Each structure stands twice: as structure tokens, then as C-alpha cells.
């Protein structure tokens, strides 16, 4: 859906109004259009689910805001420098990652964000599916153009994971746990997944797409039975519904800050924060190395590039770049 500056202005005026009313005259003055045109804009907002009353001689009053992560809503109060410079909201799409990737190939600037209400072909890693029902969750992709070599790209997964955790803690008070490389868990169940994709030349990244899916208000019956690991949503875990727009805004702000910190100070402080929420260190695990077999060992840490370090039975250390981890003993 294309961003409507008029819609954004109307929402902003409602948000700023002390008693919730904005007169038709004021709206038509600020927008520079006729009162009839204002009426049409109000009609479009109503169609999106905004409950707006029209009271003769007082004007319009916003009674209820739908839980939609619309670009115009997100921009109100969004305080970022890069991430979210340009926001695209889609009611339905195949995959926000695919859309952001296409924008990247078409030359779109750093910081563009694509958000969808629902995905028909949400992507996980290694060709897996991300279940993406409408109206409940957040599906978002951010296009970045970091001035880095391609081998640094996996580091950005730690940047986006820490941003997701911070947003979860800030909005819900829940304390998430990280599982290498890309899972965020609450109460032992997966609540968010990250999929970062890259377009690169031999020695430089052209762009990276950070894909983020967070289960906000999904109900138990919306999860398929055959998931790789138990899953949950913030609502199921915390017992309270989470506003998609408020969560998205918090996430974009955290991501903006962490991305700037990463470019200025490197990965180390972010990795330290990531590790403080990771409960794998010291545990005996089995890693399915993306097609190249199983490795067993004790997790001794994460190296400075974000690779998983495993102490093997023969005393040597294996450095794992990609795979799925399963805890086999403590």
C-alpha cells in the first residue's frame, strides 16, 4: 500500500488532539483540500478499521485504532536515523524478504523496511517455511548497505537478534533466551526467527536483507503440529496482547541504534549482550551442519565473527558457521 501523507497528517492530528476531536475545518486547512476530500480520507481510514465518529459542530473523533502496523502509524513517534527511512506496508505478500531483496536489486536506499500483515510464502532458513497468518504477528524486512566484506554478513544476525530481544523485554517484560544462530525463545519455545540474506560482489556487500518474524498474538491453534521445536507467542507466554505497531516501532528503534553501534564499535559489545542471553555455553550439543553432517561436542563459546565453537571428544575445537543446534545433555 502506498504511503499517504494525508492519512499520516490526519492520524498525527488525532494523536496530538487533547480531547480527541479534530474539526473538519482544521483538517481541510492543514491538508489544503476541500471538506469533501477530508470526508473521503476519513472514509478510507474507516475502511482500514479506524473507528472515527463524526459529531456535528465538533468534528471528527478517533474512538479506536486497529492493530495494524501501517507505515503512517509507525512513523508517528518513530525516532530513527537509518532504519525505517522509508516504510512499505503490504496487506499480503509472498515474503517480505523477497520484496525487500527486489527493492535492493532495484537500487533502493539503506533503511527501507517492508512490513506485511500476512505472508503467503514466508521463508525460514534452508528452504523452510515461516508460518505467517494475518492480523496477529510481525513480519518485517530491513534493507541495509553496510560498507563491509561479504564474510561479515552473518554478524548482522546477532545485531537483529539482540534488537528483537530488547524489543521483547521492553514491550512485554518477558526475558528471551538466544539459541545459536538465529532463534529467540521464551519459556523454551521459539517466539521469533531471523533470516538474513545478502547480495554481494567478491569483496563487498551490495546489500543485506534482515528478515524478522515475531509471534506477537498468535493463538495456540494457529501453530501447525509439525514444527521443528515448540513455539509460542508473546501473548501466549505473557498473557497480554501486544500492539503490532508499538512493537514494530520499538524494534526499528533498537535496530537503528544497534546497527549504528555495530558500524562504529564492531560486533564485540553486541556479541557480549547476545551471549548474556544464551544458555548454550557449557552444554553438550549436536549440530546439524546444513547438509554436511552431524557434529557432537560441548559449546565453549562464540568467536568474534559469531561462529559456534565446539570442544570435541578428541580435545580439538570445531568452528561451526551454520547449522541447527540440539542440546543432548547439560
Would you tell me which residues interact with ligand BT5 (CB under 6 A)?
95-97, 119, 122-126, 128-131, 139-141, 182, 190, 193-195, 211-213, 215, 227-228, 231
Cβ neighbour number for residue 271 with a 10 Å cutoff:
21
DSSP 259: H
Shortest Cβ 92–ligand BT5 spacing (Å) = 13
- The strand order across the sheet containing 59-64 reads 21-22, 59-64, 51-55
Q: Which residue lies nearer to ligand BT5 by CB, 7 or 88?
A: 88
Query: Within 13 A of 208's CA, how many CA atoms are on the CB side?
Result: 26
Shortest Cβ 212–ligand BT5 spacing (Å) = 6
Q: Which residue lies nearer to ligand BT5 by CB, 27 or 325?
A: 325
Shortest Cβ 118–ligand BT5 spacing (Å) = 11
Q: Which residue lies nearer to ligand BT5 by CB, 292 or 316?
A: 292
CA–CA gap between residue 89 and residue 91 (Å, rounded): 7
Number of residue whose CB is nearest ligand BT5: 193
CA–CA gap between residue 91 and residue 299 (Å, rounded): 42
Q: Which residue lies nearer to ligand BT5 by CB, 123 or 145?
A: 123
Shortest Cβ 181–ligand BT5 spacing (Å) = 8
Q: Which residue lies nearer to ligand BT5 by CB, 59 or 104?
A: 104
Shortest Cβ 33–ligand BT5 spacing (Å) = 36
Shortest Cβ 251–ligand BT5 spacing (Å) = 12
Q: Which residue lies nearer to ligand BT5 by CB, 22 or 218?
A: 218
Q: Quick one: 243 exposed, middle or buried, by C-beta within 10 A (0-12, 13-18, 19+)?
A: middle
Helix (H, G, I), strand (E, B) or coil at 120: coil
Q: Which residue lies nearer to ligand BT5 by CB, 41 or 132?
A: 132
324's CB contacts (< 8 A; 6+ apart) are 228, 287, 288, 290
CA–CA gap between residue 68 and residue 80 (Å, rounded): 20
Query: Within 13 A of 35's CA, how many CA atoms are on the CB side?
Result: 8
Shortest Cβ 140–ligand BT5 spacing (Å) = 6
In contact, 52 and 45? CB cutoff 8 Å: yes
Q: Which residue lies nearer to ligand BT5 by CB, 82 or 212?
A: 212
Shortest Cβ 269–ligand BT5 spacing (Å) = 25
- The strand order across the sheet containing 177-179 reads 86-93, 112-119, 138-144, 205-214, 189-200, 183-186, 177-179
CA–CA gap between residue 218 and residue 56 (Å, rounded): 40
CA–CA gap between residue 210 and residue 101 (Å, rounded): 10
**Bridge-partner residues for 179, per DSSP?**
183
Amino acid at each position: 500500500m502506498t504511503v499517504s501523507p494525508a492519512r499520516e497528517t490526519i492520524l498525527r492530528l488525532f494523536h496530538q488532539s487533547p480531547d480527541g476531536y479534530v474539526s473538519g475545518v482544521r483538517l481541510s486547512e492543514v491538508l489544503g483540500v476541500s471538506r469533501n476530500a477530508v470526508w473521503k480520507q476519513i472514509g478510507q481510514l474507516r475502511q482500514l478499521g479506524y473507528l472515527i465518529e463524526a459529531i456535528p459542530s465538533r468534528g471528527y473523533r478517533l474512538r479506536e485504532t486497529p492493530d495494524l502496523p501501517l507505515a503512517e502509524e509507525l512513523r508517528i513517534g518513530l525516532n530513527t536515523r537509518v532504519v525505517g527511512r522509508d516504510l512499505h506496508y503490504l496487506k499480503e505478500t509472498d515474503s517480505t524478504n523477497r520484496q525487500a531483496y527486489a527493492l535492493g536489486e532495484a537500487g533502493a536506499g539503506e533503511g527501507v523496511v517492508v512490513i506485511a500483515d500476512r505472508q503467503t510464502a514466508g521463508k525460514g532458513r534452508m528452504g523452510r517455511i515461516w508460518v505467517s497468518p494475518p492480523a496477529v504477528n510481525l513480519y518485517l524486512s530491513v534493507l541495509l548497505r553496510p560498507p563491509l566484506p561479504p564474510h561479515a554478513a552473518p554478524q548482522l544476525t546477532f545485531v537483529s537478534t539482540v534488537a528483537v530481544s530488547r524489543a521483547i523485554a521492553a514491550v512485554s517484560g518477558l526475558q528471551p533466551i538466544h539459541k545459536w544462530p538465529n532463534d529467540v525463545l521464551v519459556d523454551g519455545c521459539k517466539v521469533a526467527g531471523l533470516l538474513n540474506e545478502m547480495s554481494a560482489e567478491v569483496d563487498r556487500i551490495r546489500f543485506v536483507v534482515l528478515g524478522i518474524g515475531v509471534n506477537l498474538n498468535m493463538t495456540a491453534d494457529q501453530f501447525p503440529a509439525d514444527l521443528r521445536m515448540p513455539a509460542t507467542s508473546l501473548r501466549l507466554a505473557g498473557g497480554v496482547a501486544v500492539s503490532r505497531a508499538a512493537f514494530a516501532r520499538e524494534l526499528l528503534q533498537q535496530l537503528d541504534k544497534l546497527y549504528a553501534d555495530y558500524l562504529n564499535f564492531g560486533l564485540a559489545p553486541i556479541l557480549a549482550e547476545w551471549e548474556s542471553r544464551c544458555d548454550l555455553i557449557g552444554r553438550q550439543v549436536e549440530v546439524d551442519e546444513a547438509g554436511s553432517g552431524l557434529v557432537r561436542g560441548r559449546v565453549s563459546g562464540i568467536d568474534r565473527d559469531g561462529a559456534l565453537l565446539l570442544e570435541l571428544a578428541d580435545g580439538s575445537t570445531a568452528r561451526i558457521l551454520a547449522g541447527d543446534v540440539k542440546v543432548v545433555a547439560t
